[in-house]
Structure 1
Amino acid sequence: MSVGGDARLGQLAWENLTVSAETKVLDRCCGSGQTKPFMVQYSQDVTGLDASPLSLQGARKNVPSANYYLEAFAESMPFPDCQFDTSTQQRCDARSATGAIATIFQEVYRAVKSGGLFILVDFHRHTNPVFLPGLAVFLWLFETETELGSLLAEVGWRSYNSEEAQQPKIYAGGSIQVIQVQKSVDSCQLTVDSCH
């Protein structure tokens, strides 16, 4: 199921996207910062969020160039509305109930600016039977059974590249999915006048 390690996994999320030094990035559920080295090469404004103090300690050590790390739960992030240009998430919590995942997606929607992006990389039901024997238990434990695309659409996210047929992008024999969605351009103006 190799895609080239954590560095390549991080790069898959950013394919065909433009990121500048000023892009405000929220790395939600950042863990110990495995994919963050790629992000800080392009943006000087990366914030890591995770509920685990131990993971955040590792992230600070592994990627000290990220500007901020915060301990908090994804269901209730302590950020104002429309603060980030982009939010990323590597690996959904497959054991979360569908309602909890929808709540997290709504919270990310709230924190991202109008026209901003949410990039999700997650395990997916594999489509290649060759991978089944060696990965069956691993994927049973960690793959997300919930149809993430429909949950994202219910919250208000729409396909970033307007090519619905390409969402999600599937890698590693169908075991990894990359979803890039965008918040509608005027959504923050409807709820918060100070957003742009």
Structure 2
Amino acid sequence: MELIKCFKALSDKTRVRLLYVLQKYELNVNEIVLVVDMIQSGVSRHLKILMESGLLTSRRDGSFIYYSAAKNENIKTFIKLIDQSLEKEKLTGQDVKKAREMIKIRQNKTKRFFKTVAPQWDQLKKEVLGNFDLNSMIMKKISFHGNISDLGCGTGELIESLSVEVSHNLIGIDSSPEMLELARLRLSGTDNAELRLGEIEHLPMKNKEIDTAIMNMVLHHISQPEISIAEVYRVLKPGGIFILSDFEKHNQEKIKDIMGGSWLGFEKEKIKTWLTDTGFHLKTIESYPVNHGLTINVFTAKKQTFKEKR
């Protein structure tokens, strides 16, 4: 990173505004245009300068490019200076509020998707997973003690299987009322399962409430994956296990039509970084081929105890 380029890039107030909001939210060009209320050509020009300076990073997901502030120690220093100078300004406060609304729009789109597909969800999953029994594979990784939570439990398929093996509490959480209603019907004869309505980014759980957390093919539906991973860390007890499965990064837009989502999968290194930056110790990564030429990666991580951190 060249410091002179950074200072030049930040000599324009609009670019300072953009960096301020993009260190809080990852947005695509269309969303940024709405946030700062500028024409697209102007926004694209400012983004180009910020990218060339090294202050921004980008990722392509299907036909969209998403931008966010780069993450390294030098840039953190710039961000800190910007935060101190802009955090009380009315305009940047409005920018952040609008950016938050963009994320809410994505979340509402996901809710509408699941409201529509809930009755067919189990069949839609099978179309993509084929004969691969992901639930059975997940169960092999679980130590059946303590409280277990399925985060983004959908129709309750995994919890139903777990209820046979587990005598402790099972907690299923989902943001879709339609999915949870199907889960309630499925689990009506189960006495050790509890279902809660809530967002994965703001889990309706106490700190250190559970021993094992499962996030099974959910992460690609979440606009801000780092926040959801941090939430898992919060609700896990020290020594607790986190099992996360999702697609390897791909370019098949049609999969969004089948299974929805904000992301076309993830590179292994991206999820590994999110886990380790949050404080998890990554134990294993396993990969499994499924239909449509896709691959599912399964990560097993541990929330270290105080003694292990030392």
Out of 268, 274, 286, which is 1:169 matched to? 286
Out of 294, 300, 310, which is 1:180 matched to? 300
Out of 139, 145, 161, which is 1:14 matched to? 139
Q: State the 1:151 CA deviation.
A: 0.6
> Any conservation in 1 of the 2:244–2:299 contact (CA below 8 Å)?
yes
Q: Which amino acid aligns with 1:19?
A: F
Find the aligned partners of 1:67 and 1:16 in 2 and give their Cα distance.
Answer: 20
Give the superposed CA RMSD.
2.7
Where does residue 144 of structure 1 map in the other structure?
A: 265
Where does residue 4 of structure 1 map in the other structure?
A: 131
Out of 240, 262, 267, which is 1:116 matched to? 240
Q: How does 1:115-134 map to 2 (within 5 A)?
A: 115-125=239-249
Where does residue 29 of structure 1 map in the other structure?
A: 152
Where does residue 76 of structure 1 map in the other structure?
A: 202
Instruction: State the structure with bigger RCO (CA 8 A, min sep 6), 1 or 2.
Output: 1
> Any conservation in 2 of the 1:29–1:89 contact (CA below 8 Å)?
yes
Gaps of 5+ in 1: 127-131, 161-166, 188-196
Where does residue 176 of structure 2 map in the other structure?
A: 52
Inter-CA distance 70–51: structure 2 relative to 1 (3 Å threshold): same
Write 1 or 2 for the structure with the bigger share of helix.
2
Look up the SS of the partner of 2:203 in the other structure: coil
TM-score, scaled to structure 2: 0.49
Q: Which amino acid aligns with 1:178?
A: V
Look up the SS of the partner of 1:94 in the other structure: helix
Find the aligned partners of 2:249 and 2:201 in 1 and give their Cα distance.
Answer: 25
> Any conservation in 1 of the 2:159–2:193 contact (CA below 8 Å)?
no
Find the aligned partners of 1:68 and 1:53 in 2 and give their Cα distance.
Answer: 14
Inter-CA distance 181–46: structure 2 relative to 1 (3 Å threshold): same
Q: State the 1:112 CA deviation.
A: 0.5
Find the aligned partners of 1:184 and 1:145 in 2 and give their Cα distance.
Answer: 24
Q: State the 1:34 CA deviation.
A: 2.3
Out of 261, 267, 281, which is 1:158 matched to? 281
Residue-by-residue CA offset, 1:90-129 (whole Å, 9 max, x unaligned) = 11342534xx110110111000000001111111136xxx
Q: How many residue pairs end up in the alignment?
A: 170
Find the aligned partners of 2:279 and 2:225 in 1 and give their Cα distance.
Answer: 14
Find the aligned partners of 2:276 and 2:265 in 1 and give their Cα distance.
Answer: 17
Q: State the 1:18 CA deviation.
A: 2.3
Look up the SS of the partner of 2:157 in the other structure: coil
Q: Which amino acid aligns with 1:175?
A: T
> Any conservation in 2 of the 1:10–1:36 contact (CA below 8 Å)?
no
Inter-CA distance 136–38: structure 2 relative to 1 (3 Å threshold): same
Gaps of 5+ in 2: 1-127
> Any conservation in 2 of the 1:3–1:9 contact (CA below 8 Å)?
no
> Any conservation in 2 of the 1:12–1:178 contact (CA below 8 Å)?
no
Find the aligned partners of 1:95 and 1:24 in 2 and give their Cα distance.
Answer: 25
Residue 67 in 1 paired to residue 193 in 2? yes
Find the aligned partners of 2:212 and 2:181 in 1 and give their Cα distance.
Answer: 23
Find the aligned partners of 1:78 and 1:136 in 2 and give their Cα distance.
Answer: 32
Q: Which amino acid aligns with 1:121?
A: S
Q: Which amino acid aligns with 1:170?
A: S
